[in-house]
Structure formats: structure tokens, C-alpha cells
Structure 1
Amino acid sequence: MNETSAETRSVIVERDIPFPAEKIWRALTQPHLIEEWLMKNDFKPVVDHRFNFRGDWGAVDCEVLEVEPNKTLSYTWAALGLESVVTWTLTPTGAGTHLRMEQSGFRPDQEQAYQGAKYGWQRFLAGLEQVVARPD
């Protein structure tokens, strides 16, 4: 394989959620809420904090890269040979918040991981919307 062709792809999932960014931010950053829609974790919204997500299939090693409350959250996502970055972007809209999730860094030889992420994030975001929609 030619190493110079390090062209990577991203999985992007976008949702318009009829709730304020603060409420979505809580679901993205509070460990007990993250566990409900994603996985068990020891997350803290602190730059350079190392944490992991734990699923039945194994664990994801992560490190927080960027935290801008109610706006942007970014962390590395390393699992099963995949070195990627997950970035959440929250943008206020008239009816609530536009949520964008991008996972970047899929190499051409990681088609299975790419397809799995495309499927997985759709499911995860559906769960996230349910958590956010619950009354406080």
C-alpha cells in the first residue's frame, strides 16, 4: 500500500433537536447520561483528560481535545486499529439546536469500521435524542 495516499474519510451525522444546546451538552458530557445512549465511560469535559468508553465488544481509548461549553466538544477515538477524532458541534436554531457529529480519520482499508460507524452513530444519536427529550 502506498503510504503517501493517506486520504481519510469522515462519518457525519446531523440532527435538528428541539431543545436548547445546554440540555444536549449535558447529555454529551455527563458520564451517567453518556452511558445511557453511548457506553460506560469515565469522561470529564476537561482538555487532555484521558478516558475510555467500554462496550460489550471492548473499549475505546480517548483523550479530550477541545471543550467549548454548549458549542464544541472534540476527543480522540482509538479502537481496533482505528485512530480517529470525534467532534460534536452545537448550533442554536430558531426551533432548538442543530447537532453535528463528525468522526474523522477512517483510512481506505478501514471500510468495515467506516460502515460500522455510519450505522452505529445513527443508533447512538437516536438514543441521545431520547435522553435529551426526557423531562429534567
Structure 2
Amino acid sequence: MTDAQTEALSVVVEREIPYPPEKIWRALTQPHLIEDWLMKNDFKPVVDHRFNFRADWGAVDCQVMAVEPNKTLSYTWAAYGLESVVTWTLIPTNAGTRLRMEQSGFRPDQQQAYQGAKGGWQRFFAALEQVLARVE
């Protein structure tokens, strides 16, 4: 029997964004801003807070696991049999912030969810950058 953890797949998106971590943190944690680039939600940056993301295709059930303002945010992401964890890491750089998102926990038999997430997060990142460009 193999260890499922070693076989689990992750989607990683990493970008250098020309804004300070504080500004990006707001876009990752304020519900009205999250809605602009990701989905409708009832998010609060509080450990153990249960919330969901809602879209026309359905909902994602989540629970906050870790909050370190302007540095790290992690929450579970469960939908359609997928039990995963999304972790955001913000690292200040000379030009702004290196923003890294990792969604881990895709099983090898969840190729459709995995491929969907790979494409989806690229779109979400593009939308996030548009939100950051227009908010103060």
C-alpha cells in the first residue's frame, strides 16, 4: 500500500506582484475584494472560521487553518469530493511581493479537478492583479 500523501498532487502559482504585502493581504482577506477576483464568500481571517465560496457552478466549503497577517494564509478547500488545502505565502521583495499560492491534496484519480485548478488559479491570479491595480 502506498502513502496517499506522497502521491497527492499540488497546483502552485507563483508571481512577483508590484504591490506591498499589506495591499495584497487585503485583497486576500476582505470579503468584498475576494468576491471581485475569486467568488462570493463569507470569509473572515480568523483561525477555525468556517466559510464558503459560492459561484454559479456550486460552492466550496472551507475552514481557516492559519493566519499570519501580511505573510501566510491557509484554508481547507472542499468541493465535489476534493479535500484540499490552499496556502498563500507573501514574501516582500525589492519590486513588491512574491505571492505564492499552493493548493495541495489532489489525489491521482482527481485529474479533472487538478487540471481545472491549474487553469482556474491562473485566471484568478489575473483577476487578482486587476483588483490590486484599481484599489487603493
**Residue aligning to 2:10:** 10
Q: CA RMSD in A?
A: 0.8
Distance 1:88 1:47 in 2: 14
Q: Does 1:81 align with 2:81?
A: yes
Distance 1:73 1:14 in 2: 15
SS in 2 for 1:63: strand
SS in 2 for 1:22: helix
**Pairing of 1:1-136 with structure 2 (within 5 A):** 4-6=2-4, 7-136=7-136
Distance 2:68 2:10 in 1: 22
Counterpart of 2:112, as a letter, is: Q
Superposition TM-score, scaled by structure 1 size:
0.96
CA distance 1:109–1:40, change in 2 (3 Å)? same
Counterpart of 2:81, as a letter, is: G
Gaps of 5+ in 1: none
Counterpart of 1:79, as a letter, is: A
Greater alpha carbon shift after TM alignment, 67-76 vs 5-14:
5-14
Counting aligned pairs with the same residue, the percent is: 82
Q: How many residues align?
A: 134
Superposition TM-score, scaled by structure 2 size:
0.96
Distance 2:8 2:120 in 1: 19
Distance 1:64 1:135 in 2: 25
Distance 2:46 2:129 in 1: 24
Counterpart of 1:16, as a letter, is: E
Distance 1:17 1:133 in 2: 10
Q: Deviations over 1:14-58 (max 9, x none)?
A: 110000000000000000000000000000000000000001100
Counterpart of 1:53, as a letter, is: F
Deviation at 1:5, TM superposition (A): 4.3
Q: Deviations over 1:61-92 (max 9, x none)?
A: 00000000000000000000000000000000
Deviation at 1:135, TM superposition (A): 4.3
Distance 2:71 2:60 in 1: 24
Counterpart of 1:45, as a letter, is: P
Q: Spell out structure 1 runs of 4+ moving beyond 3 A.
A: none
